[in-house]
Amino acid sequence: MKLYGTPPTRATRPIWLLNELEIDCEIIPLDIPAGEHQGAAFLAINPFGKAPALVDGDLAMAESVAIMMYLAEAHGGERFLPTDPAERALMHQWNLFLVAEIEQPLWRMGLHTVIYPEAERIAADVPLARRDCLRMLAPLETHLQGREYMVGSGLTVADFNAAYTLDWADEDGACWRPSPTVAASWSACMRGPRPRPASPRPLPGCMPAKSRPAFARTSRPSSDCCPASDRCPSDKHQRTNA
């Protein structure tokens, strides 16, 4: 089995699960700043031209959360998967919610602060994306009140996805800090036997590289919000990897 992509990209999601499930897999770095993900060799594996991608026998697939699900289902002995159909459905719901409703506005913030060429950035989209993200973080926080896990009574794929995505929100200028409830749920993942994979090198304009064992911070007042320019992902990388 081969997984293309390394932390801090979204490859972190499946790599974390590979580690937790102790699945033997070759991790193949992709030089995204050099455009390796757009080269013919990688496009033959993942026509989307993005990291991560997984190759397992005849299967070649993309999408970080879909890869996590495949790993848990095909190689994980049903670990991190609810057996109850209703709980499994809710795990899917939260996985899609995290990617569509939390990650997407975070990605918009990243695109329009550091990733797009400066001339193509739309500064006005950054506060809109931040607002959209905060609006969706609120029901997630409510959901976690009194719960240790996203779904049911144990860790599932959705918890690892949430820990990764919420760490990004915490890092990336959404002006959000995890409440103690979220922190408790999140730290269940971070405390797992296998720590979140750390970045081997900085990758400007992608993900926060920081790997932290636990979170105990409370929400900050909005007046404490930093301007996006002061909290861009690449800036974080510089500081994290310094």
> Footprint of ligand GSH on this chain (CB under 6 A)?
9-10, 32, 37, 49-52, 62-64, 206-207
Nearer to ligand GSH among residue 30 and residue 140 (C-beta): 30
User: SS3 for 159-176, per residue?
Assistant: HHHHHHHHHHHHHCCCCC
Find the shortest distance in angstroms from Cβ 179 to ligand GSH.
Answer: 26
**Nearer of residues 39 and 127 to ligand GSH, judged by Cβ:** 39
Cα separation of 206 and 107, whole Å?
A: 9
Q: Residue 85 Cβ, how far from ligand GSH at the closest point, in Å? A: 25
CA pair distance 21, 15, nearest whole angstrom: 10
Is 86 exposed, middle or buried (CB count within 10 Å of its CB: 0-12, 13-18, 19+)?
exposed
How far apart are CB 48 and ligand GSH at their closest, in Å? 7
Q: CA gyration radius for the chain? A: 17
| Smallest distance, ligand GSH to C-beta of residue 62, A | 6
Minimum distance from CB of 12 to ligand GSH (Å)? Answer: 8
Closer CB to ligand GSH, 183 or 236, in the complex? 236
Which long-range CB contacts under 8 A does 69-73 form with residues at least 24 apart?
A: 69/95, 69/157, 71/14, 71/17, 71/18, 71/21, 71/23, 72/17, 72/21, 72/157
Nearer to ligand GSH, 64 or 156 (CB): 64
User: Which CB atom, from 46 or from 156, has the smaller least distance to ligand GSH?
Assistant: 46
